[in-house]
Structure 1
């Protein structure tokens, strides 16, 4: 998602939500974020589950260094020990090897995902072991550039939304989805702004 699309989305969101309009004046546009819709992006999403961005980048650097090019075939040729030594847990090794095998077997066609609507693409990705709704939604947002996705299970988004709306407690995932219904069709940009706001707004 590039700067132009983010700027357009933020302008629209400011018209839809006075709280965003006020915070936008102080914090400005969130930076662009994107992924290439390939195996490496899905691999990085699994790697990043439940760890810091810094740790995920370090692990991805070590994992990609094990291969001449990052492909499902090359990944499957790696030993489990070498992947574990690069920093992946046993569970994540299982999930990422399952992902690679699904692509090699034709169970998952990444190019086809771009032709599906949001709900269909999410369902297809979630059929893979280890890929929950958050992982699927992150891929849609950053690899497929879908503009109306809100990964409500993300803790930082819940906390930021609670701060933005002046709530006493962070909303649940269900409550968060309800609150941001009015942000359609720009909920992806709203998510980007909340992450941006989370890093800059006081607790």
Structure 2
């Protein structure tokens, strides 16, 4: 039987808890002690290895692979030392305490917000492998978190048939996130085999394109970490099925970039409306009818309620939305990530509140006390925005399918820079009001 060992290493110091490993089959090694023992045996015993080899062959023949079984491609020769196997270390590139202080200076209400809810992407740090995060993001596009979890498990099981047939068969002590195929293996898997795991043809093509780029090192952990925010977007949007929204989610939840503003996320826009409207007008109603939350007809698909764990843990409370993990990049976005019509944009953004992993739970209604607290030195609203039109936007009167334009979002959060990502995280928690 082949010996397996992890092919994933990290930039972090030794001892880190790396959950993103890939099993790599290695040929059985002949140690020095074995050679010495063979040399010391009597000449008559030298035929023993041949007898053992025959026995081993008989054992293998007794347990043949099922007819038509998929045999995962072997790892690349240089895979064990390849950049494609390096994880993103569980560290921040900035001071979290300094970022908190900056946001509190910009708006003192953030002090209470930080006390009420942890900023998970920047406080609960784990090593992340970029290929796995992006691949799972593609696999989870436009489906419920339960369906995504099942497909990701079936996809993974293509490369390790020893895994339980059903994801529900995992015990609490055996987490399904311990193994993931390598980019080289996925890149060398044919489309039909990938589709057998439940992938659509497009998703199979997308994940193969992503894998090929990591396998030949057009993409690597080193390159992604070294790129600035815009270069990162340019690099990833070249991948089929990845658009700007998925790039922003990856930058926040996997790379932990501090100054990301996902201007195309409808959930963030709604949260910002509540946040800034309450700063300038404490007396108003936040109630939004369900059909206005989704930007159209009520969503009757009860399965589309939670998020997947492509870039983080799924939210514990379902919400009628698509979250930062709701990668609408594949089945909705064009290959280059550009949406051609406002209705497509609305569909994507609307979905963005449902499938993102690691999104915060909605605040309870008691958050109104925090929102309505008198702000110190409140900044004026950006030109073109008023309390009246913020209210009308919150009630569902969008502009070209969105609640806030990119320029308006930039203007409203100008004082949050260079730590917009932290503020953005809490806007998701404000996008829906949790029922008491």
When normalised by structure 2's length, the TM-score is 0.41
Which residue in 1 is equivalent to 2:362? none
1:44 is matched with which residue: 132, 136, 144?
136
**Which residue of 1 is the match for residue 118 of structure 2?**
29
* Residue pair 1:35, 1:142 contacting (<8 A) in 2 also: no
CA contact (8 A) 2:187 2:215 kept: no
Q: Quick one: distance in 1 between partners of 2:202 and 2:127?
A: 23
2:184 corresponds to which of 73, 77, 81: 73
- 1:132-170 per-position Cα deviation (integer Å, ceiling 9, x unaligned): 111222222222221111212122112221222223222
Whole-Å separation in 2 of the counterparts to 1:182 and 1:110? 31
Alpha-carbon displacement from aligned partner over 1:38-79 (angstroms, at most 9, x marks no partner): 311111222233444444333322222222442112213434
Secondary structure at the residue paired with 2:252? helix
Equivalenced residue count is 201
Aligned Cα root-mean-square deviation (Å):
3.0
Q: Partners in 1 of 2:426 and 2:248 — Cα distance?
A: 16
In structure 2, relative to structure 1, the CA distance for the partners of 1:12 and 1:59 (3 Å cut) is farther
1:87/1:7 CA distance change after superposition, 3 Å: farther
1:192 to 405, 409, 425: 425
Query: TM-score, normalising length from structure 1?
Result: 0.80
**Mind listing any 5+ residue stretches in structure 2 that lack a counterpart?**
1-89, 161-179, 278-389, 394-402
Aligned to 1:99: 210
Rg larger in 1 or in 2? Answer: 2
8 Å contact kept, 1:39–1:72 = yes
1:29: Cα distance to partner? 2.8
Name the counterpart of 2:224: 113
Distance change (3 Å), C-alpha of 1:25 and 1:189: closer
Aligned partners of 1:48 and 1:6: how far apart in 2?
30
Q: How far apart are 1:82 and its partner, in Å?
A: 3.8
The answer to which structure, 1 or 2, has the higher relative contact order (CA under 8 A, 6+ apart) is: 1
Counterpart position of 2:298: none
- 1:30 to 1:144, Cα distance in 2 relative to 1, 3 A: closer
Aligned residue among 16, 26, 46 for 2:106: 16
- Tell me how far apart the structure 1 counterparts of residues 114 and 257 of structure 2 sit (CA, whole Å): 25
In structure 1, C-alpha distance between the alignment counterparts of 2:237 and 2:138, rounded to whole Å: 12
Does the 8 Å contact 2:260/2:420 carry over to 1?
A: yes
Matched, 1:84 2:195: yes
In structure 2, the partner of 1:126 is 237
Of 46-55 and 57-66, the range deviating more from structure 2: 46-55
